[in-house]
């Protein structure tokens, strides 16, 4: 309906996040390539400016569409070519503060734009029927809009009548579903209407296309419509790997090893059973962060704050002030959105908040917008922050336990997407803060490993007869161990799955320079560009972060 009514790409259509934009990709010349989506070298998982002129805004994180849309609408107004702007946002994304900040601004400067709310939170209820669609078409029409504004002007000097008109209009709309909130923000609200009624949508969109000021169309859709397994289980089918659509069965994880998210979830339940002060917070990532079991066992201590990362962190700060033990389970890429809250609301006050940072490092199919490439860099510069990088699932548990019992300020444990390595889980005990351990003694070369690239680093150490160190802590760094390695080896190599710039390896360089130790150091990590989609294995191989790649880099550097 949108592509039929609007003259895209001249008219600019902006998709929030973009999971809902797959049909848009099919309709805009990418149908033959849709089978390659989310694969290395294939179509991007989200709208992507470099892929098509129809993709106006590159996205991946939610709730950005209205802010960008306002800017695009203002630019179009100044251009003066009658270019229209439409933003499509989902019911999850619109809960974020950024979306409301944008709508508040739109209500103030009143650009000509349309926001479409795609609401699939529930199935279409009875009141979204013929009467409601007819009323929506009536209320979106030019005649009604002109009468409404004209009537307000005529009666503006007669306050009681103006109020009566407003109440009458709201009561007519209220018979359907009240859109008072959006009206108060300055939008002309229409809806809700059936998002699967294409002809009805075309009529409503045509009516709304030429209205002045910010417009808001609320459509109701059913998630997974037309595919029964997805309709029955929309959460599981929100983002899926390759599967057989005829059976509707999703592939089981291979190897039987638990994911790091599951390791975290099990530790969370185990700890909560012993300590009723534990509180767990997630910004709309219950399933992905491994918190389903916890949410069922401890519902009064589980808080899903929706897509509100900033609020999640400051809410945790408040719980810590109140004497509780908050744990914020969050993806590395989404913690970026709450940086000031980590710094200003938690770290400056030295509050004991534990950040369980999932999806650290390369994440795979979601590409540039979701790589956990920067958390070590942006957290390492925060004073008195403790940052831990486990090399396996047992160490991950011990570090979570250590961070949970650290009371002098915030701490963070970062772990990757994917399965653990299958080591034995030992009883929980606190690790000494800022201390690494030597895993293997070798000659000439020492490899200082930070995190779960350890199995590959171990293969390289064996092949090159190098010393191998599990550094464990990115902050505070084990300076004594670094200096010992520098004194007893001809060269050092640091390994991490984080941006080299500002990462753990940079910290090692700083220690050596501060102590005037002129030992050569090779930093191996993520390069200085945004890493595209591909499986974790494909991208690690391409970037030289598997054993063969690391060994080749080291040999070339030593040559």
- Angstrom distance (rounded) from CA 465 to CA 385: 34
Strand partners, 446: 467, 492
- Angstrom distance (rounded) from CA 265 to CA 255: 19
- Angstrom distance (rounded) from CA 89 to CA 315: 25
| DSSP code per residue over 264-275 | HHHHHHHHHHH-
Which tokens is 56 given? 């106006």
The answer to whether the CB of 236 falls within 8 A of the CB of 243 is no
Query: Which helix H or strand E contains 77, and what residues bound it?
Result: helix 65-79
419 DSSP assignment: B
Peptide bond into 541 cis (omega under 30): no
Q: 468: buried, middle or exposed (CB in 10 Å: 19+, 13-18, 0-12)? A: buried
101 assigned to active site: no
- Angstrom distance (rounded) from CA 409 to CA 403: 10
CB < 8 Å & 24+ apart, contacts of 120-123: 120/90, 120/91, 120/195, 120/220, 120/221, 120/222, 120/223, 120/234, 121/91, 122/220, 123/222
Selected catalytic residue, list 84, 301, 337, 359: 337
CA of residue 16 relative to chain centroid, distance: 13
| DSSP code per residue over 219-258 | EE--TTTT-HHHHH-TTGGGS--S-BTTTTBPPPPSTTPP
Angle at 102 between CA 97 and CA 105, to 5 degrees: 130
- Angstrom distance (rounded) from CA 131 to CA 133: 6
Selected catalytic residue, list 173, 309, 472, 540: 309
121 assigned to active site: no
The answer to whether the Cα torsion of 125, 129, 132, 136 is positive or negative is positive
- Angstrom distance (rounded) from CA 119 to CA 52: 26
Which tokens is 156 given? 């503006």
Selected catalytic residue, list 25, 209, 223, 380: 223
223 assigned to active site: yes
Number of Cβ atoms within 10 Å of the Cβ of 231: 14
Number of Cβ atoms within 10 Å of the Cβ of 462: 13
Angle at 174 between CA 110 and CA 306, to 5 degrees: 65
- Angstrom distance (rounded) from CA 251 to CA 241: 8
Nearest residue to 184 (alpha-carbon basis) of 109, 108, 91, 74: 108
Number of Cβ atoms within 10 Å of the Cβ of 196: 14
Coil vs helix vs strand at 174? helix
- Angstrom distance (rounded) from CA 214 to CA 185: 10
The answer to whether the Cα torsion of 251, 257, 260, 265 is positive or negative is positive
User: Could you give the residue numbers annotated as active site?
Assistant: 223, 309, 337
């Amino acid at each position: 309906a949108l592509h039929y009514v609007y003259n895209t790409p001249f008219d600019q259509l902006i998709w929030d996040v973009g999971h809902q934009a797959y049909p848009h990709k099919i309709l805009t010349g990418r149908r033959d390539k849709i089978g390659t989506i989310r694969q290395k070298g294939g179509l991007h998982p989200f709208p992507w400016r470099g892929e098509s002129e129809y993709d106006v805004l590159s996205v991946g994180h939610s709730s950005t569409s209205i802010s960008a849309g306002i800017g695009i609408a203002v630019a179009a107004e100044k251009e003066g070519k009658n270019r229209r702007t439409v933003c499509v946002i989902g019911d999850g994304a619109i809960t974020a503060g950024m979306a409301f900040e944008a709508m508040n601004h739109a209500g103030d400067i009143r650009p000509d734009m349309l926001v479409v709310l795609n609401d699939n939170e529930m199935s279409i209820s009875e009141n979204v029927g013929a009467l409601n669609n007819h009323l929506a078409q009536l209320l979106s029409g030019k005649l009604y809009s002109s009468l409404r504004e004209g009537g307000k002007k005529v009666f503006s000097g007669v306050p009681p009548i103006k109020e009566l008109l407003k109440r009458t209009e709201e009561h007519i709309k209220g018979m359907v579903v009240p859109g008072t909130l959006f009206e108060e923000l300055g939008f002309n609200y229409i809806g809700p209407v059936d998002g699967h009624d294409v002809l009805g949508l075309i009529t409503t969109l045509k009516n709304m296309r030429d209205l002045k000021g910010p417009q808001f169309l609320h459509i109701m859709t059913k998630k997974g419509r037309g595919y029964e397994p997805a309709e029955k289980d929309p959460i599981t089918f929100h983002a899926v790997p390759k599967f057989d659509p005829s059976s509707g069965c999703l592939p089981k994880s291979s190897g039987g090893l638990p994911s790091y998210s599951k390791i975290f979830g099990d530790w969370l339940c185990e700890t909560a059973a012993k300590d009723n002060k534990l509180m767990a917070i997630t910004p709309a990532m219950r399933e992905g962060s491994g918190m389903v079991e916890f949410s069922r066992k401890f519902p009064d201590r589980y808080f899903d704050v929706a897509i509100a990362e900033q609020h999640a962190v400051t809410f945790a700060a408040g719980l810590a002030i109140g004497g509780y033990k908050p744990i914020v389970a969050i993806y590395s890429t989404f913690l970026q959105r709450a940086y000031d809250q980590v710094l200003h609301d938690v770290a400056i006050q030295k509050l004991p908040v534990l950040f369980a940072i999932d999806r650290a490092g390369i994440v795979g199919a979601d590409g540039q917008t979701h790589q956990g490439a920067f958390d070590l860099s942006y957290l390492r510069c925060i004073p008195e922050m403790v940052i831990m990088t486990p090399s396996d699932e047992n160490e991950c548990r011990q570090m979570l336990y250590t961070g949970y019992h650290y009371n002098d300020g915030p701490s963070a444990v970062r772990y990757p997407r994917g399965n653990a390595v299958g080591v034995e889980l030992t009883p929980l005990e606190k690790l000494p803060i800022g201390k690494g351990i030597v895993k293997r003694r070798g000659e000439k070369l020492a490899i200082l490993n930070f995190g779960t690239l350890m199995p590959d680093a171990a293969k390289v150490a064996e092949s090159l007869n190098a010393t191998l160190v599990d550094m464990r802590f990115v902050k505070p760094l084990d300076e004594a161990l670094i200096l010992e390695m520098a004194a007893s080896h001809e060269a050092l190599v640091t390994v991490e799955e984080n941006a080299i710039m500002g990462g753990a390896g940079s910290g090692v360089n700083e220690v050596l320079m501060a102590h005037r130790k002129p030992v050569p150091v090779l930093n191996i990590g993520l390069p200085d560009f945004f890493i595209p989609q591909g499986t974790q294995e494909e991208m690690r191989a391409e970037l030289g972060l598997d054993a063969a790649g690391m060994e080749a880099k080291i040999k070339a550097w030593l040559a």
